[in-house]
Structure 1
Amino acid sequence: MVAHIEEFQGRSVSTIPVHISYEIIQLFSEGLYQSPHKAVEELVSNSYDAGAQHVHVLLPEDAEDQSAILPLWVIDDGSGMDPHGFMQLWRVADSAKASVTLEEADRPPIGQFGIGKLAAYVLAWRLTHVSRSDGQIHYTVMNYRSLQGRHQYEDPKPFAIDLYQLNEDEAKNFLRDIELRSPETWELLFGSQSSPTWTVAGLSDFKRLYDKLSAGRLRWVLSTGLPLESDFAIRLNSDELVSSKLTGPKITTYTVGGHDDPVAKSLDLSVSEGSIEIDGIDGPITGSATIFERRLTEGKSDQYGRSHGFFVKVRGRIINLEDELFGLDALNHAAWSRFSMTIEAEGLRKHLLSSREGVRESEPIYLLRDYLHGVFNSARVAYENFSEKEQQGIDIDTLLRDAPSAFVVEPIVETVRQSLSSQLESFYILLPQLGEGEDQDRWLESFRNSVSQRLIASVEFEKSGPNGRALRYRPDDQCLLVNTDHPFVDKLLAASKNQASTILFCSSELLLDALMHEHRLSRETNFAILENRDRVLRLISGDQPSTAREVLRLLEVANQDEQALERATGIAFMTLGFKYERRGGHEGGPDGVLHANLGRGERTLDSYSVVYDAKQTSSPAVQAGKVDFSQLNRHRTDEGADYAFFIADRYAGEEDDNSALNKKMKAAKDLGPLTLLKIDHVRRIIRLHYQYGVTLSALRTLFLDSRNIPTVEEWLDQFEHQLRHAEPSIPLDRLLEGLEEAKGDQKSRPNVYAVRANDETLKQFSPERLIAALTAVQTIAGERWIEVERGGNVTLHSGVDQILAKVDEQLGIMVATSTESTGQGDDP
């Protein structure tokens, strides 16, 4: 097209003065039209204003070379333009259309500001118009590049555009690209039944914003914005568009006006059959609202445009395309995504902003918004009643056998859709595993059809570990996976004659997860609620907390009760990686046994176990008489353990070398590796763990080399110094990013050993230390963010940045907690 324009000039018949500067173009185009689709719609609106019955939009195909992209054409069979019409076309910020009344035209024009032609500037540097009128064909070319450097403050002379005249053969040659791309359009221009008048607008020499032009989005914009008149048709490339009509099962429809419009009556609006009137807005307001059973926000609607919310039309054109709420406050309710309301309000034309994409604030507009809000609330009540009826039919048979209700299906489908979009699984629902190249929307539709017949196709009972979630749902085959190792599930199974109550519990948990997504809770809020719920379930069943923050708080109060100290100690060592077996001191045994499962390695790097006894007293410190080293050693040998320790808040004479306690310790030196620990020692180890990652091998040396309080504290000081200064810090972000990248391998799980083998920096650290560091991250952030297995397999439930941010947040809380309890802060 550019070559044609430059090589063929035609016959210049006049010049058109354009009073315009570069600043004016930027103000009226870039300032008002941010969407490339709105720019094209403006050209279509011009066709509508010209009385066209047919508009053809031809989009060029993509090309690697920007200069090789063919023009974008908008062709219509409207009234066309003679020389005077071209003169009117380029009268910027002035339009003869605004004076046209309903009585003067069969189709009143949309435009009234005379700036629509400038919208093309956001897409392209060159705008060409070719038009037939009164048997003559004329054309102009506006090259916006020529306006660069023409400033308003310099008061330049008008910019001149040449008006050329063409005969029909010359016009055919000039527009030959249209014939090659659309024979149907060519017939409209030059066929045997061609229109006697027509206009062609062509955009070329495209700008960067053109790259954001989507055929799908434009299709939606044009079809949704079609006027209600049936004599106006739009073709996009080879397809004829139809007005977008929302389909699907409806809950209720609300018609504007009439005797059954309680909202209008409550606002004292003037009501007639099929319309209402508002003082300050001329003429009737008509329309209707519908609320659907299914969400209108699923599939590709977010990409192509919305199907829900308010659609306010003036003369058939939507004026709030980008403002679904029409200025109302956010309506964050499940009903909003199912609600659609369209109104026609001719009288709003006087309230339009210059961009025609909004209205000026005024009392009549406020009253209109109150009416729209009231209609939505009426529809919301209908939806809530529908949902309540749907819920009444839910039972275990519905979930497992019968076709489930929409109340069940829709939240599940929406949750899975969100997971696919973000590539992040929900708390209970696993991320579907789509095949390579498999279409996501087609898969989702197939999934919807499947769950509409049977939400849970099968139930599998598995052992996922006591720290695993109670259940998982696998969308790929609609399988409910029940974790029999979960403490609460274990209790349910033990207390029931069959599995029905357990399946019902897990099904309700699954729906709870989905319903929170349905109500648009953020993923972080969803996880926080369900994580706290899981903790409550564990506490009900007698299980332990799972994060370092909770363990530290538990240790703060553990010295008030001996049994609490027994459990707090075991739980604390569990966070360090030990397996904890509670004994409770029954039948003369230890309070607990800790197993460090390292496997068999070289020299000292093999597994070991430790027994312990907790000591608590109403006195300020545990007296020496309550510390029986011989008995503790018997517990150690009876359990086949390698080491043993006592734990208390304080010991009498712990720092005095000649105290009764230390004399007893010296006398027991030949019994075996026995250690005295304090609650503060364990707290300190926990804090070191969440800062650096403490390995089970390192803790072995504590039990092997330290006996009394001074030697334990000396070991802790040296160990902390080593962690802070001698050993390099583990680059957690690098390690996590490697694991994140490994998630792309569909045939294996992310594993520390595999990531370390491919990273020279990570090879500086032993696999054990890397696993310990990740275990510390799990201990700090919680299992809803990351799960680490002893063998090095890692499951990331969030992105790397989110996990690290959560760790930083929890560290700040734990340091504050430590400061409050000790009166002094720890180094970061």
Structure 2
Amino acid sequence: MNISSIGKKIDDIEVKISYRIIELFSAGLYSSPNKAFEELICNSYDAYASEVEVYVSSDLSATDAYIWVLDNGEGLDESELKDLWRIGESSKRKNPSKDIARLQIGQFGIGKLATYILARKLTYLTKKNNRYLIAVMDYDVISNDNDAIFIDEIEVTEAEAISLLNPYLKSINKIRMFGKDSVKSWTISILTDLKPKASEITEGRLKWILRTALPLNPNFKLHFNGVLIESSKINIPILKTWTIGLEDQTAESLDWAESREENGEHYVDFSNLKGVNGQFELYSDSLLEGKSADLGRSNGIFLNIRGRLINIDDPLLGMEAFSHGAFNRTRIVINADELDNNLTSTREAVKESRPFSQLKEYIKKKFNNEVKKYYFDKEQTDYQKATVAYRMAQTSYTTSKRPIYSFINKFYSDEICNPFLIEKPKENDKDQLVNAYNIDVETGDQVIEKIIYEPMMPGSPIAKLDLVRRLLKINVMHPYVANYSGAYKTLFPLEGIAIAEVLTEAHMYELGIDENIVNNVMKKRDATFKELAFSDRESTPAVAMLLKDSLSNPTGLENAVYRALLALGFETSQIGGPNKPDGKADAILGYDEFSKSRNYSLTFDAKSTNKKVIAAGTSHLSALKRHQSTYEADYCIEVAIGYQGETDPNSAISVEAIMQKVTVIKASDLVRLMFLATPKQIGLDKLRDLFETCYAPYQVKEWIDNIQNIETEVPPYFDIVDVIYELQKFDSEPPTVSVVRTELNRKLSKKFSSSEVKEQIKILQALVPGCVSLENEFVGTQVKPETIKSRITSLLSNIPYEWTELYNEIFEEEKTS
């Protein structure tokens, strides 16, 4: 485009910009060519255009390739064309009347610089008040030597404008730009002398962005190369829609959220973010399949601010992965205009802040407690009977029916006494079972006709088979089930594992393997599933730091409490949902010398709040007590940032906690407990005393204070590691706790008991997960002692100053001993 010989220069446009600035703002912030392209269209939207036309050359790598965006918006006069090139300034939000007519997207005045990564020249030609103005930015003239450049502001006639545009319009534009019936105003932006980055634009991906990312407005039509762009449609049936703010269980469960209705629309107001609306849609099939998945996504979170999609390529808003099976079928549309103040300058992301944290916490809770629960309940309903019977029918007689029939005959012949996964049938069921399973071959009945999910006692296996009812009961409290049930598209894989475990036990009995061996093998397999579920267990100091961080971000408290109990040595399962605890934690301690179980369990809840303290009424302790009863737990605890009257024995929270026998813990006290766990040797056995005797926050604090002040003999952690390693290296049998104790006492001239050594080994497990193992009485190290010691030393470097002396007291003495 050559404009040097036409039109009349009417003024200079000063552009205050340096090469360094443009490199930073364009190449750095707008790395996506599609995103840069989108900025031009947003300018058209902000100019109140009702129609926008886009043209992209078919071969963007060609030397004469170009791109243009044309709109029928307000157009630009002389001063407005100058304002357009005020870098870092925008007048779009200064006039409130503009927002009333159409919410303005731009606010930073840098979007136009995104074109720098696409082209060397950007031309604006605009019509307003029957005048035609033109300005050309040549990015090549910008250098480090100048802080400003000047662009010619030129006025041309209609005939000259037509002459300039004829080579580009190709007669495909719908907007009538010239002549008697032409629109009153318009603007066209033309990108020429394209850079290599422009060739990365793909038509399919760009059209998806234009359909999805730009405001859905009936008064805003967009054409791409002459074809109308329509908003994306999903041709998969919707199972259920949750409207935000309408019968919103999640909002009702949060003390910092409130639902409301206004003019027939439903909203949720958070304490730091108002006017959030939208919907969660669960589809009958995955939204990831098909050719369109390569161009853009249909599932996940779509966060709109002032009508524009912010998170094009971030379906989780930076959060950890949700349950894959349900999430792949879910489309979450969120409108949160107040987050406009928290946008980054590129409008591609939201800054981390309290409003954004509350929104993400709400989304996560609503998905887990409502959408995911509905999805898995429906999956179970759809598949539990017919599908189980069908799957079992595909197995051979020798694989499923014969082992179970053999088990029944051997059990009633007193050859089997104590199976692990198959429930022992009653004596009066003998005739029914023998006769029924004997004719299965003829009737076609299956050994498993139905599957249910239910909580079981601590130490229970992954599943139990009820022979009489032909019912497989899967243990929802088993760590593997609790942690991975959401990782599958359907529950088939998990159910397949449970069926295989039950049939494996029956096969081993059928083969005549000694029952003690059968029990040991099946229990080891079950222990392996638990270890896999706990493979991400973190050290107690590391989790203490996480919990400490949550004091300033209480919306993350629930996850921090779960990880804290896990790190302390509990077998912990997350539950969640309306009228349910956040989770359950089991302490597996085995049996005492009188064969009495030492195990115990507790339900736990975390109360998130944006306030420093919560009132007694907000704690809902009576509901927590019901959770404890429902899940057959011995104790229940609640953790919050703080409580009104937490230091007063006569306060409402103290009186109710003692009356309900609910252990109420301040998060800061739980942090202290985590840091004290290693130096003060606080194991699961010792923690039982806390839950047994302390309920009010002040009682919990006094208990922890006493633990901190008690003089404790320095535990010989490094020596224990050395002894275990030497024993397993040179002995032909795996070392036991008693053998380690004997060798340790001989080495140090001490008199540690077996229970003390076992407790110290458990604390080592919590301190350096995955390095030390303890299975019943057998112990082992998974890496060399030097590796364990170096990991401990590394941990110490991250411990807050106020705790370092206590840790150094242990491990410095270890190093010199």
Structure label with greater radius of gyration: 1
TM-score for both structures, normalised by structure 1: 0.48
TM-score for both structures, normalised by structure 2: 0.48
